Amino acid sequence: MVAHQKAVGIVGCGAIAQVLLRAGENRDLPFRFSGVCSRTEAKARTFLKTLAHVPPPLLDLPALIACSDLIVETAGAHVVPVLARLAFEAGKDLMVISVGALLEHPEVIEHARRTGCRLIVPSGAIAGLDGIKGACMGRVDFVRLTSRKPPRALEGAPYLTARGLSVLGLAEERELFRGSAREACKGFPDNLNVSAAISLAGIGPDLTEVRIIAAPGLERNCHDIEVEGEFGRLAVHIENIPSQNPRTGRLTALSILRSIIDASSTVRIGT
């Protein structure tokens, strides 16, 4: 007997969604793409036509939810509250990429718990969430994240705009922010989903410490995670090559793909 192949719908058709859809052409996956929903329909149709195989249909949101088992959000934090409500009310699971939205809208997490639907947060651009989750079963003294990014990846962030700051033309490294993960996600919503994921896996958004540094000449998005507690010490260093979008590393899309595979498979390695 062949097991049911999970139907996966994608909301958004930007750089991350396009990597996921192209992956369906290049490998045998334990799920199928049921459709795509995008507010920029013309651009989405243009991309879908470039796929070698028969592309998934472009659908409106209610139709996408109806024909999918798992909805994957790649469209930005602004869609998460409404998307979560519609998905969970329809009894569907949801994978959220814009993790910072969960700090602004904790009711999404509670809604998932009430309905019994799964709310999945992939590791994205970082590693070590499994270690942080395990460590936080005991006493943890601190969780710290230091992110170094090229200035072009940080330019235009609300934190900088509100202060009339530009980081283009910097001659040397500059620390732009030091504070909590909650504050980091508000100030740099397109850059610090990693801090939201770390905080949710660990000691929470108000206790997780974050530093953001603009580094001229840097070609990669770099993250250093430090955790110390009764278990010992954990240190993780990641250097991500940016994708088409300089704010997003290539590892993000690969992590999302792996998370969809895990959600669709009967065998899963790691936590």
pLDDT reported for residue 271: 62
Give the residue numbers annotated as catalytic, written as ranges. 223
Angle between helices 107-115 and 80-89 (to 10 degrees): 10
Tokens of 131: 């270690």
Q: Residue 247 — pLDDT band, cuts 50, 70, 90?
A: low
Looking at per-residue confidence, does 51 or 27 come out higher?
A: 51
Closest residue by Cα to residue 99 from 71, 80, 72: 80
Whether the per-residue pLDDT at 27 is higher than 80: the answer is no
- The pLDDT tens digits of the residues spanning 141-163 come to 999 999 999 999 999 999 999 99
User: Which residues, 6+ apart, have CB-to-CB distance to 167 below 8 Å?
Assistant: 151, 154, 155, 160, 174, 176, 214
Average pLDDT, the chain: 93
